[in-house]
Amino acid sequence: MRRDVVSKIAPAPTAASLAEAFTARLLFLSSMALLLAFPFLGANEFTVTLLTEGLIFGIWAMSLDLLAGFTGLMSFGHASGLGLGAYTAGYFAQHVTSEFLIALPAAEIVVAVLAVLLGVVVGRISGVAFAIVTLAISQVLLQIGIAWLPVTGGMDGLIGVPVPTLFGYKLESGESFYLIVAVILILVYLALVRLANSPFGHTLQAIRLSEQRAAAIGINVRLHKCAIFVVSWLVAAIAGTLLVFMKGGTTPMVFNWYQSGYVLAVTMFGGLGTLLGPLVGAIIVTFLHDQAISLFKAWQFVFGLAFVLAVIFFPAGIAGIAIRTWNRLWESRC
Amino acid sequence: MGKPLLIRDLSKAFGGVRAVERVDVEVQPRHVHSLIGPNGAGKTTVLNCVSGFLRPDAGRVVLQGTDVTRWPPHRLVAAGLVRTFQITTLFGELTVRENVELAVRSRLGQNLDVIHQAGRLGQARNEAEEALTTVGLLDRVEARSDQLSHGDKRVLEIAIALALNPRVLLLDEPTAGMSRSEAERIARLVRAIADKVSIVLIEHDTEIVMSISDMITVMARGRVIAQGTPSEISKDAEVRRAYLGVVEAEMG
């Protein structure tokens, strides 16, 4: 299907491959620097906010990539982790403290407990069953969000979540919040790349390629599927926490199936199993979405059509195109 | 410590079809114990029940004195019972090295390791190369496994199994679809491995079975119809009728 990109083991270094690695690192570092400096390069408030949203969306898409791309588990209900993170962090900020470094772990703990309980169940299934069960879970959460009035605020959702603080300093301006999001994004990305290249990452890859074969070499398939399900939800909950602080609230619609479909489409559009692809895809789609909404009334139709065409003509996604171009560049040079 | 592998009274039905009925097999240390019989005799079903990929309806599986009946595959592998598949099931997108390293790391309990970087674990690398040296596949170590020849793929399967350090190795038709010379290469390999490991071998090639087996169990229609050394089996009248006769008739 696709060559795994993240976990490719490097062959013995040659001068050319060292140069390539150096360029890749330089490119990576400069884009990180650009990301951090973005709000101070004369971008207006609106663009900064839009990019903040794109980065949060990117964290969410990468968390789905852990399941769909790495492990081959197509989740049709990936709004669950995001929504749970948003609700628990929002509720915590309203009732206890809006200190970001306390609200985030608090949300993570709640999500972890639920994810472990559900992971024990979904770790046993694959394929279509996994898709349907994850979809069902998100729809159940949606109904709970609507019905559990005293906690979730019902259909109105959580309103008036306070501005987050960091070590007591209020993150009131768009720039300061943007910086928090960008730093977290970079940390999450680096951690996930490490995870992809770790023995655990390779175990997941083995499970994706053949669960039967994986079991035959002694891999406890259920345990590892459960583990990555939990990790995936925890990362999604980071995105959810950032989202609820960014919007100052959330509604139960955060759980809705079209949210799950949207993030799955964007992750595939970016390139499954590449991390960077879904991240870049999410940022691009966020900006395209903003443009399309003002240009076309039927933007969803346009987006849907673009997605279908992208899947047909570029099945490896944006990352696939980027990698092919990159390789061609280096081949022509050496 | 008991016998390497005991199969007692094993039965398995699919719907109304009794695929395996009250099968008894006793594998001696360092034996190549072949399981033969016509298609549909239930050989692979026995192997699936023993290796945890199917749940037997009745009977027991005892591995070195421990009752391991209905254990999941990964637990059996950890206990030293390893199998290969009839149809090659390698991780096709991965290289030969990666295929074997996954098995080594799994044995070393590194499946959940998120601290290290997989490519830098020296022990897994060395042991993978060791297993590949044993089977004579070291020169293809960086090749993608789906680009190997059919024979090399089957050899790689055996290397992966060896990397798991088995006490008992179940081989399901390792020479299926092979040329004569390739099949003989596998036969020699199996015989050599049996120095350290007890082997249960499902095999259709009568010549290979007769030449490398210490013990043979013959199955037909889900039951064991004969058990003995190669020379005993070749003289057995019932076996001739049920199995060898079929082959002879096909050939003649």
Q: What 3 state SS string does B212-230 have?
A: HCCEEEEEECCEEEEEECH
Residue with tokens 């720039």: A175
CB contact under 8 A, B121 and A199: yes
CA atoms A258, A260, A266, A271: torsion sign? negative
pLDDT over threshold 60, residue B141? yes
Question: B-chain residues within 8 Å CB-CB of A202?
Answer: 98, 101-102, 105, 118
Pairing of strands B168-172, B32-36: unpaired
Q: What is the pLDDT of residues A68-117, one digit of tens each?
A: 999 999 999 999 999 999 999 999 999 998 899 999 999 999 999 999 99
Residues 6+ apart with CB under 8 A from A77: A133, A134, A135, A136, A137, A138, A139, A257, A260
Average pLDDT rounded to a whole number, residues B221-229 = 91
Find the CB nearest B74 among A3, A10, A219.
A219
State mean pLDDT over B172-196: 90
- Is B53 in Cβ contact with A199 (below 8 Å)? no
Alpha-carbon gap: A279 to the closest alpha carbon of chain B (Å): 22
Smallest Cβ–Cβ distance between B73 and the set A195, A203, A215 belongs to A215
Given its phi and psi angles, is residue B52 left (phi above 0), alpha (psi -120 to 50 degrees) or beta? left
Q: What are the φ and ψ backbone dihedral angles of B142, each rounded to 5 degrees?
A: -95, 5
Distance from CA of A206 to the nearest CA of B (A): 7
Q: What percent of chain B has pLDDT over 70?
A: 95
Given this model, what pLDDT does residue B193 score? 92
* Measured distance CA(B86)–CA(B109) in Å, rounded: 27
CA distance A4 to chain B (A): 8
- Residue A197: list chain B partners with CB under 8 A: 117-119
**Residue stretches of chain A with pLDDT short of 70:** 1-13, 333-334
A267 has a chain B CB within 8 A of its CB: no
Contact B102 A227 (CB under 8 A): no
**pLDDT in the model for residue B245:** 55
At B80 the pLDDT is 94
Q: Which residue of B106, B110, B160, B170 is the best one to mutate when testing the A interface, meaning the one whose CB has the most A CBs within 10 A?
A: B106
Report which listed range, A257-261, A264-268, B56-60, B204-208, is most confident. Answer: B56-60
User: In DSSP terms, which residues pair with B8 in a beta bridge?
Assistant: B60
- How would you classify the pairing of strands A158-159 and B66-67? unpaired
Taking the domains of chain A in order of start, what are their residue ranges? 45-333
Amino acid at the residue B222: G
Task: Work out the percent of chain B whose per-residue pLDDT is above 90.
Answer: 60
Tens of pLDDT, residue by residue over A261-307, are 989 988 988 888 899 999 999 999 898 888 877 777 777 787 788 88
Query: SS3 helix, strand, coil % of chain B, rounded to 5?
Result: 40, 25, 35
Average confidence (pLDDT) over B127-142 = 90
Q: Which two tokens stand for residue B120?
A: 């830098």
Q: CA A106 → CA A141, A142, A158, B128, B216, distances in Å? A: 19, 21, 17, 43, 63
pLDDT in tens, B34-44: 999 888 889 99
- Quickly count: other Cβ atoms within 10 Å of residue A132's Cβ: 13
**Assigned token pair, B218:** 């013959």
* Per-residue confidence (pLDDT) for residue A81, from 0 to 100: 95
pLDDT for the residue A44: 86
pLDDT at position A333: 61
Q: Taking an 8 Å Cβ-Cβ cutoff, which residues of chain B contact chain A? A: 51-53, 72-74, 77-78, 82-85, 89-95, 97-98, 101-103, 105-107, 110-119, 121, 142, 160, 164
Domain extent listing, chain B: 5-80+166-251, 94-163
CB contact under 8 A, A3 and B53: no
pLDDT at residue A172, rounded to an integer: 80
The answer to ipTM > 0.95 is no
Range B5-80+166-251: architecture per CATH? 3-Layer(aba) Sandwich (3.40)
A21 touches chain B (CB under 8 A): no
Number of residues written out for chain A? 334
Average pLDDT, chain B: 89
